[in-house]
Amino acid sequence: MKISGRNKLEATVKEIVKGTVMAKIVMDYKGTELVAAITIDSVADLDLVPGDKVTALVKATEMEVLK
Q: Does 38 bind a copy of itself (CB under 8 A)?
A: yes
| Contact residue for a copy of itself among 12, 17, 28, 50 (CB under 8 A) | 17
Task: Spell 16-42 as b/e; 16+ CB within 10 A means b.
Answer: beeeeeebebebeeeeeebebeeeeee
Q: Does 66 bind a copy of itself (CB under 8 A)?
A: yes
Q: Does 14 bind a copy of itself (CB under 8 A)?
A: no
The four Cα atoms 58, 13, 51, 7 give a dihedral, to 10 degrees, of 20
- Interface residues with a copy of itself (CB under 8 A) are 1-9, 17-25, 27, 30-32, 34-39, 41-43, 45-48, 52-67
